[in-house]
Amino acid sequence: MNKTWIVAQREFNSRVKKKTFLLSTILFPLLIFGFYAFIIYFSVKGNDDLVIAIADKANVFNGKLDSDSDVKFAFVNDASAASLEQKVEKKQYGGYIYIPADFNISSGSLNVYYNKTIGMISQERIERRINKLLEQKRLLALNITQEQLDSARKRSAIEFKPVSGAKESGKAKAGLSYAVGYASGFLIYIILFIYGTMVMRGVMEEKTNRIAEVIVSSVKPFQLMMGKIVGIGAVGLLQFIIWIVLGVAATALIPLLLQGGDASAVQNVPGAGAMVQASQSNPVSAVISDINFALILPCFLFYFLGGYLLYSSLFAAVGSAVNEDPQDAQSLLLPVTMPIIFGIVIMTKAVNDPTGNLSVFGSLFPLTSPIVMMARIAHGVPNGVTAWELILSMVFLIAGFILTTWLAGKIYRTGILMYGKKPTWKEMWKWAFRKS
């Protein structure tokens, strides 16, 4: 145990003192935040207005068609089609609609002429507004009064209420739970890849440099593997703490970016839409207080450490079996990385349906539970996950970690001193179950 600790200290100190650690710890989250800030800022304030000119000779719209911050309509009823086409070519308008005097509102069709391509979302907005107004005109032509039309279109207030004994989960809380669950699961997904690969490359470097031969003369291979895993895991934990502090500071800056702009414009920004929806229906402080962060944070650390320890031992086993050729590692990594990819796929479903059968399976299966369970925990206990499922998932993850570490340790013991032979999973399987 003492030798494992010494190896872990060496791994931790050698990596933390490198300049690349500071660069990856400080600059990476700043780049991510800057990228998102760039997208949000220009989504809110940087939109170029699309102006569609309408020459309504038949007076179909009576000079009224709703505009918004993205698409605006300008009525120029005295203009001809030729003059409008020239103005579009000169970029005075983004496009134009010419409605002839004999236009039939029941069977006629409209054309939107443009010079430069109009985006799909903008096209959908233009179609929706025009069709809505044409539908209203057609119904009025059938002697349906405006009052009858408004009454038929009146939307009923639908509220979601829990049955007796169940906890309330409003729309705002569901939106924020979605964002927290998605961010937590995705973060663990990234971590498993980054730090697992870091462990594998560290093992490969020591093997190819023949340093491992010197070290295993005084340290057991299993102690060497565990020391490397623990040391790199401690580096990851330190980075996490720094990232959480930077994340809290960055979150405080988001309202400044949205200030004075159209908040609805960020609905299409990944991860920001759900948070905006949640904050629009309720005050942010009230919504955040509904999320059980006292449960989420300890569970996040548990699944982060559990997932890392489980997968890093497998990455270490692959690294120990590989010789100088990195292509060998790529062929051996597929069975290790596939469960991680399955986990992120199941997680995207679990954030919307935390109690579905696939979500329950993914959160109990040790190879996918570190990613999937975070999506369910964000919805709370017992709304998203029951207490017994959470405990069972943790027990399975611990058992999975013990099993994979035992297998990886036996592979590592043989593979770290094996040279000149291209490894296969069949060969590694024999190493794992070879009698000592």
In angstroms, the CA 84 to CA 95 distance is 8
Task: Report the distance separating Cα 350 and Cα 362, nearest Å.
Answer: 9
Residue 113 bridge partners (DSSP): 96
Predicted confidence band of residue 360 (pLDDT cuts 50, 70, 90): very high
Strand partners, 51: 72
- Using DSSP's 3-state secondary structure scheme, residue 51 falls into strand
pTM of the model: 0.67
User: How confident is the model over 134-149, as pLDDT tens digits?
Assistant: 888 888 888 887 777 7
pLDDT for 378: 86
The answer on pLDDT for 250 being more than 70 is: no
CA–CA separation, 323 and 329 (whole Å): 9
Is 58 in a helix, a strand, or coil?
A: coil
For the chain, percent of residues with pLDDT exceeding 70: 84
The pLDDT tens digits of the residues spanning 73-118 come to 888 888 888 888 888 888 888 889 998 888 887 778 888 888 877 7
| pLDDT band per the 50, 70, 90 thresholds, residue 272 | low
Express each pLDDT in 10-43 by its tens digit. 888 888 888 777 777 777 777 777 777 777 666 6
Could you tell me if 332 and 320 are in contact, meaning their C-beta atoms sit under 8 angstroms apart?
no
- Could you tell me the pLDDT band of residue 334, with boundaries at 50, 70 and 90? confident
pLDDT confidence of residue 34: 76
pLDDT, tens digit, 9 for 90 and up, residues 184-231: 888 889 888 888 888 888 888 877 777 777 777 777 777 778 888 888
Q: Name beta bridge partners: 50.
A: 71
pLDDT at 288: 62
Q: How confident is the model at residue 4 (pLDDT cuts 50, 70, 90)?
A: confident
Listed ranges 43-57, 130-144, 272-286; the one with the highest mean pLDDT: 130-144
Q: Which amino acid is at 252?
A: A
- 3-class secondary structure, 19: helix
DSSP, res 219: S
pLDDT by residue (tens digit) across 367-414?
Answer: 999 999 998 988 888 878 899 999 999 999 999 988 888 888 888 878
pLDDT: which is higher, 408 or 342: 342
Q: Are 425 and 328 in contact (CB under 8 A)?
A: no
Q: Do 19 and 239 form a contact (C-beta atoms < 8 A)?
A: no
Pick the most confident of 47-61, 242-256, 281-295, 362-376: 362-376
Identify the pLDDT of residue 343: 92
Instruction: Please list the helix, strand and coil fractions of the chain in percent, rounded to the nearest 5, in that order.
Output: 65, 5, 30
Could you give the dihedral angle defined by the CA atoms of residues 137, 141, 146 and 150, in that order, rounded to the nearest 10 degrees? -70
Amino acid (one-letter) located at 72: K
Cα 354 from Cα 335, distance rounded (Å): 27
